[in-house]
């Protein structure tokens, strides 16, 4: 990730307040770097799993225009499917780097449109990188799922 020096504190990480005391820069929160401009974005992955099927090393390749921060995980996505896909059964999900190391039930790491699963800390994906994961159906039935990785594309800060 490219880091840009904060234009408010000039990368010094601190500024002088009205009482002439040093405090952490309120713009960069004391990092010395601007966080960049965030724009909400969602990457969607849809697949139909057959009974007990395992799909290893699935990938969503991110666009090359900006870094991406995964902030929310949800099942289904009403804007793409009307009505939203109703998932049946259980899928075990393993998110690669920056996520889980073992497969966990999708309901423990994915919410829905009204109550998304908040990812803290956010998972950073560099531009042109990929979101990698494994899927395993344990419901013993065919299961169409739609996973939504929501967050922010991060663009360089605008320069005056």
**pTM (2 decimals)?**
0.74
pLDDT at 84: 43
pLDDT at 108: 80
In 3D space, the residue among 150, 68, 156, 157 whose CA is nearest the CA of residue 116 turns out to be 150
Phi, psi of 106 (to 5 degrees): -60, -30
Cβ proximity of 45 and 58 under 8 Å = yes
Give the pLDDT confidence of 45-78 residue by residue, as tens digits.
Answer: 998 888 889 898 899 999 999 999 999 998 864 4
């Amino acid at each position: 990730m490219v880091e840009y020096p904060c234009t408010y504190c000039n990368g010094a990480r601190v500024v002088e307040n009205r009482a002439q005391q040093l405090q952490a820069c309120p713009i960069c929160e004391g990092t010395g770097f601007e966080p960049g401009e965030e724009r909400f974005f969602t990457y969607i992955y849809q697949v139909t799993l057959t009974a007990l099927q395992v799909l290893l090393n699935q990938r969503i390749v991110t666009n090359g225009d900006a870094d991406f921060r995964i902030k929310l995980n949800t099942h289904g996505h009403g804007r793409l499917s009307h009505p939203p896909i109703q998932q049946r059964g259980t899928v075990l999900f393993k998110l690669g780097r920056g996520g889980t190391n073992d497969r966990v039930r999708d309901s423990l790491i994915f919410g829905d449109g009204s109550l998304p699963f908040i990812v803290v800390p956010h998972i950073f994906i560099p531009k042109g990188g990929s979101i990698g994961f494994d899927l395993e159906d344990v419901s013993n039935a065919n299961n169409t799922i739609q996973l939504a990785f929501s967050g922010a594309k991060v663009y360089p800060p605008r320069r005056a």
